Amino acid sequence: MALAAGLRETLAAIFPDALSVDPAECLTYGYDNSRRRALPDAVVFPTAHAQVVALVQACRAARTPLIARGRGTNTTGATVPVHGGVVVSFERMNRILRIDAANRYAVVEPGVLNGDLQAALKPLGFFWPPDPTSSAYCSIGGNLACNAAGPRTVKYGAPRENTLGLQAVAGSGETFRAGYYTSKGATGYDLTRLLIGAEGTLALITEATLKLTPLAAAKRVLRATYADITAAAAAVSRIMAQPVTPCALEFLDDEALRLARKHGGDAVPVAGAMLLIEVDGEPAFLPAAVEAVAAAARGPGLLDCRAAEDEAEIAGLWAARKALSPALRAIAPMKINEDVVVPVSRLPELIGGLKSISHTFGIPIVNFGHAGNGNIHVNLLYRPEDPAQAAAAPDCLAAVFDLVLSLDGTLSGEHGIGLVKREFLPRALDPMALALMRRIKAQFDPDGILNPGKLLPDQE
């Protein structure tokens, strides 16, 4: 649908030099890493909170969809403007407003890149724990919208555990602040955690107060290889059952290793599966912690367990791991990328079940991810020109979700629901819980303008 003339004039007044209605530029902001796309009617680029308030109020008055966008790295179609409307790109609200080392927090605008924030914090001896694979070019606002985390979550938590407060504009056009500047608080409902992971369906975040964590004094990286994926999955359960928590525990199956080896060369071994384990802490205590984790990694099916020899090998291993997702495009043009989660003790059942599903449906499945949280990236790879694979893909995905839910798991650990998983949400949520979510959505966004068609499924 085209913008109403009155709304277009209002937007031009709010954004005199930051409004685009050119279809070519608008299309650039109409897709994300899910490879789905739709054409918005306009794109705006705010630089201040007051502009966002005026924008929401104008779109509400015109009953026009409004979709918040970071850098488009999401894989679930969460920022695709399926109903047209206005995309609000926060790329120009990219200031680190202040860093308060004494109180261990930073205040940032949503367009700040995760990597830029980490670079600013490092000289001060701090970091913000969430570190998605796309950290060099994903935004803090996008991280918050999907509760996107990364490898360090196993020890340090996701954005929900590392955000103290937010400033936001509800779909009603009203400004509010949620949370605190303190590390403790018990005053009313926790609206901060509610907004994180809501995928821009409740409010537009314009400022975030982030909890900072001191950098560890030392770290070691272990590379454990196994004869098969079942042995590696069992090792994950043993590692997480002992007292030392690694700061990262990544799982790569045989096909993921093959791809990683193409990127990382001989630094990536040939094996049935591999665990990439990072342990951090004080230098005096680190050797004992590393040995405790290594002892748990040893068991049936272990081929080798050793520490990376130097910083170059560590960098090579992590670079190969982070290159996996884009490398999968080389295997098949269509990739269904899910990030399911199961209790860690049930990882062996999940991995074994996924192999069986792959065989049943004739669709290759490549598995890797944040095994320390039970969060595995399950990649279904198929060729759309193959009629059998194209027809089997939806049922294969449904079987994956059925397996995950049967193991007391959930549909997403950090990618969110977006457009591509919303139809499966009733399988994962209690009906009353889903009804309450719809009521919450109505309170924040009474006219349903914020990111319509995402996260919550349509009511039957």
pLDDT for the residue 260: 84
pLDDT for the residue 328: 75
> Where does residue 94 rank: exposed (0-12), middle (13-18), buried (19+ CB within 10 A)?
middle
The pLDDT mean for the chain works out to 94
pLDDT for the residue 264: 76
pLDDT for the residue 13: 97
67-81, 321-335, 413-427: range with lowest mean pLDDT: 321-335
- Write out pLDDT tens, residues 94-112: 999 999 999 999 999 999 9
Q: How confident is the model at residue 332 (pLDDT cuts 50, 70, 90)?
A: low
Alpha-carbon torsion (368, 256, 117, 454), positive or negative: negative
pLDDT for the residue 331: 65
Query: Mean pLDDT across the stretch 369-386?
Result: 91
The pLDDT > 70 percentage for the chain reads 98
3-class DSSP assignment, residue 281: strand
CB proximity list for 388: less than 8 A, separation 6 or greater = 362
Q: How confident is the model at residue 330 (pLDDT cuts 50, 70, 90)?
A: low
Q: What's the number of CA atoms in the CB half-sphere (13 Å) around residue 460?
A: 4
Q: In CATH, which of 3.50.50.60, 3.40.630.10, 3.30.70.2190, 1.25.40.10 is domain 218-325?
A: 3.30.70.2190
- Write out pLDDT tens, residues 254-313: 988 988 888 777 778 899 999 999 999 999 999 999 999 999 999 999 999 999 878 888
> Where does residue 182 rank: exposed (0-12), middle (13-18), buried (19+ CB within 10 A)?
exposed
Which carries the bigger pLDDT value, residue 262 or residue 81?
81
pLDDT for the residue 444: 98
Domain locations along the chain: 5-89, 96-214, 218-325, 331-422
Alpha carbon distance 122, 134 (integer Å): 18
Give CA separation, 332 vs 323, 336, 381, 382, 447, in Å: 16, 10, 6, 6, 41
Q: Are 138 and 116 in contact (CB under 8 A)?
A: no
Q: Please check the confidence at residue 363 and state whether its pLDDT lies above 70.
A: yes
Q: Are 232 and 367 in contact (CB under 8 A)?
A: no
Kindly report the number of other CB atoms within 10 A of residue 324's CB atom: 22
Alpha carbon distance 373, 153 (integer Å): 7
Domain boundaries 5-89, corresponding CATH code: 3.30.43.10
Q: Amino acid letter at 103? A: N
Alpha carbon distance 139, 126 (integer Å): 18
User: What is the dihedral angle through the alpha carbons of 49, 54, 60, 61, rounded to the nearest 10 degrees?
Assistant: 170
Q: How confident is the model at residue 337 (pLDDT cuts 50, 70, 90)?
A: confident
Q: Say whether 331-422 and 218-325 share the same fold.
A: yes
Domain boundaries 331-422, corresponding CATH code: 3.30.70.2740
